[in-house]
Chains A and B, each alone.
Chain A
């Protein structure tokens, strides 16, 4: 390539915008040309940098520095975590073939623990849990031979259990501020994460297999869940619990699960009540249609607890369609806990918030009424960056809420990343309406 052309490409590159074709040509000659004008290139680049001095100087907001320092801390933290976790990923790989067994085996641990349940032991349990990991590993290798394990309802039952519980526990641990933020906690957390991933996989596998059968099993499961947990406070009104079991009939075990999860933390055991529940279930045809009271009842119960799962609970209860659920819908509902609330790298709208604002059509009605304000929208972003669902958390009405939802549904996101992999995340997006 002659020198003047080369110099021109260098100029283009230094001044900002070079087409892809020119850029690769320049790169090629940088590697191959013996007499590449490095000196001139340096001069052009310095010139380009110096030209930036022309713009009006303006300081960024003061809090930006803290933000950056915080982000840096996060980066450093995740680096450390990665180092610890790399051990586990190796384990996981070697055991892929027996993933089912891993799962059932691991599931047994918390179940056993739950037998001697005591809410105050929650923190201790996590430690036990992690210390048993080694044992479990040893067991796993033995189990490799017994690959013909049947998939009795009991197994899925424990799977369902663990899907919820490890999260709650680890959250609690964090909350209680105990100083076990050492390897042990990290191990326990990663174990929990592994289990969740596995159980979700298993879950999906099962649903694909036979939805009808799964339905039957699901009802059995929840029955089992109740009898297994056997933990209902004496003081609690039986009505409340009965209502929740009614919910089982329309294949709607989500709030029920959550309820159970809360009950687990309560110490008292009352086997009689379960008998009652079971009896009640057999009378189901006589009972009035359950929908309405359920949806009022479930959130009420939730409000009473100070659980960290509150965010999840919130979107679960609100997201269940009010009408009778066809089985397919139920699958969607069941998958929802897979939406993370916080991940290492949160999803970002491509084009930024301002990109969303551009898509908004200011509703005529709101314009005329002079309505301004902020609409908070909860968006569920999937792995590919699409918004699968959006709902208003706080609205201002007069069509603005719908306009905000529409704009967000049309927006493509950069998916949220957890350990470098795209995951489902729910994000709250403020949409400001200003006339």
Chain B
């Protein structure tokens, strides 16, 4: 299972799964928490810096993401840390971006806001993805995204990295709302089909 992928190898050093580390960390085991940090910090940081494109802020956000993990460790599902953490970091970074971009009054960042808007609202029936698996299919996913048309990719990145909603995108690109919708839908459907195939292939 462990191939010569650089990131893969450090996962294999520690035989404990994310879920085990998570339960240990929930018992206030700092070492387990440190290992989780070692596993996820690079991926999360890369994503955050892609969104906010500012080193200092990205580091701040990364710190906050891990502090949220520590404070709300009970809210994280043992079996699906990968998706939870990535969506959490993404939401947090996009939230920051929105607050910076819009001068209008933003909802107050309090407990409830963090609980409902920042923490990902994971589906009840979600298939667990492991970090090691994700790292394995990294290349294929890159290829998948490249397979999209330029327009699809652009619209998708406006959603995913810029945190614009459909109305804002249609205003920005000066295209009808329906076009934005169809672009997003087609793009995600293609990607979804391909990932299903990928998952089937990898077992």
With A16-B90, A41-B123 as contacts: A354 and B56 at CB distance below 8 Å: yes
With A16-B160, A54-B142, A76-B28 as contacts: A65 and B90 at CB distance below 8 Å: no
Q: In chain B, what residue has the closest Cβ to A70?
A: B63
Most buried by B among A39, A56, A58: A58
Asked if B49 CB lies within 8 Å of chain A CBs, one says yes
List chain B residues, Cβ under 8 A from A71: 63, 67
B46 touches A67 (CB 8 A): no
Asked if B129 CB lies within 8 Å of chain A CBs, one says yes
Q: In chain B, what residue has the closest Cβ to A57?
A: B46
List chain B residues, Cβ under 8 A from A46: 83, 126-127, 129, 195
List chain B residues, Cβ under 8 A from A38: 123-126
Say which residue of B33, B165, B191 sits within 8 Å of A72 (CB atoms). Answer: B33
Say which residue of A39, A50, A351, A353 sits within 8 Å of B134 (CB atoms). Answer: A50
**Interface size bracket, A side:** 35 or more
B125 touches A49 (CB 8 A): no
Say which residue of B7, B37, B160 sits within 8 Å of A15 (CB atoms). Answer: B160
Majority secondary structure of chain B interface residues (helix, strand, loop or mixed): helix
A58 touches B42 (CB 8 A): yes
Asked if A44 CB lies within 8 Å of chain B CBs, one says yes
List chain B residues, Cβ under 8 A from A68: 37, 63, 66-67
A352 touches B134 (CB 8 A): no
181-195 of chain B: CB within 8 A of chain A: 181, 184-185, 188, 191-192, 195
* Assembled-state Cα–Cα distance A18/B27 (Å): 35
Q: How far is the CB of A415 from chain B (nearest CB, A)?
A: 12
Q: How far is the CB of A108 from chain B (nearest CB, A)?
A: 41
List chain A residues, Cβ under 8 A from B42: 57-60
* Assembled-state Cα–Cα distance A14/B187 (Å): 13
* Assembled-state Cα–Cα distance A19/B56 (Å): 28
Asked if B151 CB lies within 8 Å of chain A CBs, one says no
Closest 9 CB pairs of A and B: A42-B126, A42-B123, A41-B123, A38-B125, A60-B45, A49-B83, A49-B86, A55-B50, A17-B165
- Sample of 19 A–B contacts (CB below 8 Å): A12-B159, A12-B165, A15-B160, A16-B91, A17-B165, A43-B195, A43-B196, A47-B195, A50-B129, A50-B134, A52-B43, A53-B134, A55-B46, A55-B47, A60-B58, A65-B34, A69-B30, A76-B28, A352-B56
Task: Give B residues with C-beta under 8 Å from A.
Answer: 7, 28, 30, 33-34, 37, 41-43, 45-47, 49-50, 54, 56-60, 62-63, 66-67, 70-71, 82-83, 86-87, 90-91, 94, 99-100, 109, 116, 120-127, 129, 134-135, 137-138, 141-142, 145, 156, 159-161, 163-168, 181, 184-185, 188, 191-192, 195-196
Task: Give A residues with C-beta under 8 Å from B.
Answer: 8, 11-19, 27, 30, 38-39, 41-61, 64-65, 67-69, 71-72, 75-76, 350-355, 414
